């Protein structure tokens, strides 16, 4: 009986020992995880299988996978592998990492880069272009379009001009993959253009370039502006003013019309307005006026300082000019703040004195004393610009010593006052060395009844010329 119990105890002992060995086998822990294989660049949509190798090899436990950016790649364990195998799928372009873990044990990061898939190249098998375009003029352009077969072809189209002498140029339109192009005419003649893609070519398109048609000769316009330019003197009346103290006579009216082109003149109007208190005068108005065929004027202007310097007026101007009578009538309205009615006439002082004057003079007070002495061969030519301005050319032979040059020529514009006084500036060419320049301040007077002219030319004390001449 005792032996029987011993046998049963032995079986229990063996059973316990065997059972204990199996429990220890299930409890083998994962010590490390390695991911393989290495992954080269993937394209969006690709899938790659990866394996997690655990150490020790008999370790038990489930492996879990993770992607640092699931918008770039996802990683999913395969069924039935206890997580030892997974599928990486490329979702979007970019770079990220994946990893595997089991409990506190984590693999290293595996870098994965995903790129856009290579474009599918669909070759062009045929190209057609327009059979004709309208004749072109130099610098003209025309757009042409190529139709490709198949319509889904992705290959680009190039354009070629066949002329060799620069009749046309052709360039693809940006953003059309070469399907459209612009032909530019360069010089008169004929050329051909065609489109190609690889070895596929279209037929050739003939292009004709012509010289541009000459512009029609415009009808000659009467030079209305030149008929009315000049300086007008007169008076007027200010009325209907927002400031009643401005109502009354307008004095010292001077209207200067200067030609811009045959239909337009610039005007500067100076006038002394009625003044009360802080009103200022004279006042200056500048404007552009358009002259119609019957010498009507219209335009606008700003009036400076009729009252306080900060107060501005904008005038609408109408008026008329009678060149036969040398008169001008202007109406200036400023939104009921003030209305000016002006009338002025143009005395023709310049015409009374134009002509060619001959005489002599004296050079004195010169910075170069060798220039002092008699001035001979004086010729003064006055040519009318407008009623108050003449163009002047003065020629004279100066005293000469050594390398002094002569005769010398002076040209200038002179303004004539109502009493036939002269004023202006000019430069004297080559009184000494050709590189030495003089600028003269000119004063003088003209007596049209005696047909004489007297001039004083002063050049900052370098030289003074006193000239007297009579009309020829």
Run of H or E residues at 296: strand 296-304
The pLDDT assigned to 16 comes to 47
CB atoms within 10 A of CB 203: 12
Whether residue 167 is predicted with pLDDT greater than 70 in this model: the reply is yes
Three-class SS state of 66: strand
Provide the percentage of residues in the chain whose pLDDT is more than 90. 38
Q: What is the mean pLDDT of the chain?
A: 82
Run of H or E residues at 349: helix 349-353
Mean pLDDT score, 31-51 = 89
Residue with tokens 């002063």: 458
For residue 257, with 0-12 CB atoms within 10 Å meaning exposed, 13-18 middle and 19 or more buried, which class applies?
buried
Give the C-alpha separation, 23 to 39, whole Å.
38
Q: Are 87 and 78 in contact, with CB atoms under 8 Å apart?
A: yes
What are residue 96's DSSP bridge partners? Answer: 112
When mean pLDDT is compared over 181-195, 204-218, 396-410, the highest value belongs to 181-195
Write the CA distances from 257 to 140, 168, 192, 203, integer angstroms: 43, 50, 58, 66
Which residue, 165, 74, 80, is CA-closest to 114? 74
Structure tokens belonging to residue 453: 């002219």
CA quadruple 447, 453, 459, 462: dihedral positive or negative?
negative
Give the C-alpha separation, 178 to 434, whole Å.
64
Whether residue 221 is predicted with pLDDT greater than 80 in this model: the reply is no
Mean pLDDT score, 88-116 = 92
Q: ∠279-283-285 over CA atoms, to 5°? A: 140
Give the C-alpha separation, 458 to 361, whole Å.
13
**Given pLDDT bands bounded at 50, 70 and 90, which one contains residue 218?**
low
What burial letters (b/e) apply to 271-310, b meaning 16+ CB within 10 Å?
bebbbeeebebbbbbebebebeeebebebebebebbbeee
- Give one DSSP letter per residue of 15-33, joined into a string: HHHHHHHHHHHHTPPP-EE
Higher pLDDT, 21 or 347: 347
pLDDT tens-digit map of 416-444: 877 788 888 887 765 555 456 678 889 99
pLDDT tens-digit map of 321-332: 988 888 999 998
Whether residue 193 is predicted with pLDDT greater than 60 in this model: the reply is yes
Mean pLDDT score, 37-51 = 88
Three-class SS state of 182: strand
When mean pLDDT is compared over 15-19, 178-182, 387-391, the highest value belongs to 178-182
pTM over the 0.85 mark: no
Write the CA distances from 243 to 232, 261, 334, 359, integer angstroms: 27, 37, 12, 57
What domains appear along the chain, each with residue ranges and CATH number? 32-115 (2.60.40.1080), 126-210 (2.60.40.1080), 224-346 (2.40.128.120), 351-471 (2.40.128)
The pLDDT assigned to 282 comes to 66
């Amino acid at each position: 009986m005792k032996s029987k119990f011993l046998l049963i105890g032995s079986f229990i002992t063996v059973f316990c020992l065997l059972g204990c060995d199996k429990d220890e086998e299930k409890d083998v822990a994962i010590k490390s995880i390695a991911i393989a294989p290495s992954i080269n660049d993937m394209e969006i949509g690709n899938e790659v299988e990866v394996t997690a190798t655990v150490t020790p090899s008999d370790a038990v436990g489930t492996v879990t996978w993770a992607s640092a950016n699931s918008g770039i790649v996802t990683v999913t364990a395969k069924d039935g592998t206890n997580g030892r195998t997974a599928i990486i799928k490329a979702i979007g372009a970019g770079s990220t990492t994946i990893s595997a873990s089991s409990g506190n044990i984590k693999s290293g990061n595996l870098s994965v880069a995903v790129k856009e898939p290579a474009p599918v190249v669909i070759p062009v098998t045929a190209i057609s272009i327009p059979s004709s375009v309208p004749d072109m003029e130099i610098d003209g352009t025309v757009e042409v379009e190529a139709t490709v077969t198949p319509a889904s072809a992705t290959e680009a189209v190039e354009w070629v001009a066949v002329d060799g002498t620069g009749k046309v140029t052709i360039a693809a339109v940006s953003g059309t993959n070469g399907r459209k192009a612009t032909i530019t005419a360069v010089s008169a003649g004929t050329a051909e253009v065609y489109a190609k893609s690889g070895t596929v070519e279209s037929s050739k398109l003939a292009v004709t370039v012509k010289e541009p048609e000459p512009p029609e000769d415009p009808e000659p316009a009467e030079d209305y502006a030149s008929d009315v330019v000049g300086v007008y003197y007169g008076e007027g009346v200010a009325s209907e003013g927002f400031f009643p103290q401005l109502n009354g006579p307008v004095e010292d009216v001077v209207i200067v019309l200067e030609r811009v082109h045959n239909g337009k003149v610039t005007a500067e109007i100076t006038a002394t307005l009625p003044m009360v208190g802080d009103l200022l005068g004279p006042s200056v108005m500048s404007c552009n006026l358009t002259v119609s065929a019957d010498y009507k004027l219209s335009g606008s202007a700003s009036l400076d300082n009729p009252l306080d310097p900060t107060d501005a007026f904008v005038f609408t101007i109408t008026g008329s000019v009678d060149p036969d009578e040398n008169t001008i009538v202007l109406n200036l309205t400023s939104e009921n703040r003030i209305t000016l009615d002006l009338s002025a006439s143009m005395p023709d002082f310049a015409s009374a004195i134009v002509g060619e004057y001959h005489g002599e003079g004296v050079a004195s007070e010169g910075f170069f004393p060798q220039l002092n002495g008699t001035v001979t061969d004086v010729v003064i030519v006055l040519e009318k610009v407008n009623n108050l301005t003449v163009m002047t050319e003065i020629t004279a032979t100066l005293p000469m010593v050594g390398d002094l040059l002569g005769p010398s020529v002076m040209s200038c514009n002179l303004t004539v006052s109502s009493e036939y006084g002269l004023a202006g500036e000019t430069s004297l060419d080559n009184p000494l060395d050709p590189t030495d320049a003089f600028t003269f301040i000119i004063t003088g007077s003209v007596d049209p009844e005696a047909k004489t002219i007297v001039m004083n030319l002063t050049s900052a004390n370098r030289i003074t010329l006193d000239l007297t001449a009579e009309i020829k």
